[in-house]
Amino acid sequence: MKTPSKYSRIIAGTMTWGSWGKQLSKNEMISLMNHCLEHGITTFDHADIYGAYGNEEEFGKAFSESRIQREDIELISKCGIQYVCETRNNVTKHYEYSTDYIIWSAERSLEKLHTEYLDLFLLHRPSPLMDPEPIAEAVERLMSSGKIRAFGVSNFTPSQIEMIETAVAVSANQVECSLTAEGVMYDGTLDDCITKKRVAMAWSPLGSYFREDSERTQRIKEVMLPFKEKYQASEDQLILAWLMKHPAHIHPVVGTTHMDRLADSIKASEINMELEDWFTLLTASQGHKVP
């Protein structure tokens, strides 16, 4: 088992805090931040594009008035996606990973979030035009100036990380992973996190379970029913517990803004799911026995 990282076991995802979701007011954001801290969620996950490049600024305003001490939380942000929206002069969605742009984007996030440093800075998605050397130069300058404390990637394959690491070390990979999106458990992505001691983070950790009514989700619901009583846990807690049993020590990035569900997600980390129960859920999701 990996040694726990410096990030909270459950990470609060902020994508839906602003205009792409709940449109929380400043006071509602402050209340939600404090609620997270009260329940041991100290890490907040951002990206420059969230809320059409507006979320970080709204969060930063709330944080600056929250009286929360900077050393009590961890801030993550991402850069690289050039999103087509009113606040950017982009004609086509694309990716930008030049040295100057990476540095500019990090400094913009710092300004918007009202902080002097990011605990982790990620390249949001891989580009077919990535060149490791300009990326490394940007990261080294940001690290040496104290503006970022760690560098990682999101949605990268092991071979893409290997290419980046010809020039600069990668400490984390945030990928889609859940009971209904378990591909990274088989394609080498999580193996790479274990082997290279990278922090593994999972976005959309509940997968499609609550979004879709399909044969797959129906199979999972059926086998999960007795587990709810056995573990005295809700469906979302069991799905998170399933994910966190993986030896990559995955940190789920939980996107809910509901306070009770955030509190419940922390309790999920205390569930020690039995081995055969874990495989029962996997089998239900995949629709066949393991090979």
Class of residue 271 by CB neighbours under 10 A (exposed 0-12, middle 13-18, buried 19+): middle
Q: Which helix (H) or strand (E) holds 120?
A: strand 120-123
DSSP string, 147-161: SBS-EEEES--HHHH
Using alpha carbons, select from 195, 187, 178 the residue that is nearest to residue 243. Answer: 178
Q: And the tokens for 179?
A: 């009971």
Residues annotated as catalytic (active site), given as ranges: 50
Phi, psi of 151 (to 5 degrees): -125, 140
As a whole number of angstroms, the distance between CA 153 and CA 161 comes to 8
- Longest distance between any two alpha carbons in the chain, whole Å: 55
Q: Is 228 helix (H, G, I), strand (E, B) or coil?
A: helix
Q: Could you write out the three-class secondary structure of 239-270?
A: HHHHHHCCCCCCEEEECCCCHHHHHHHHHHCC
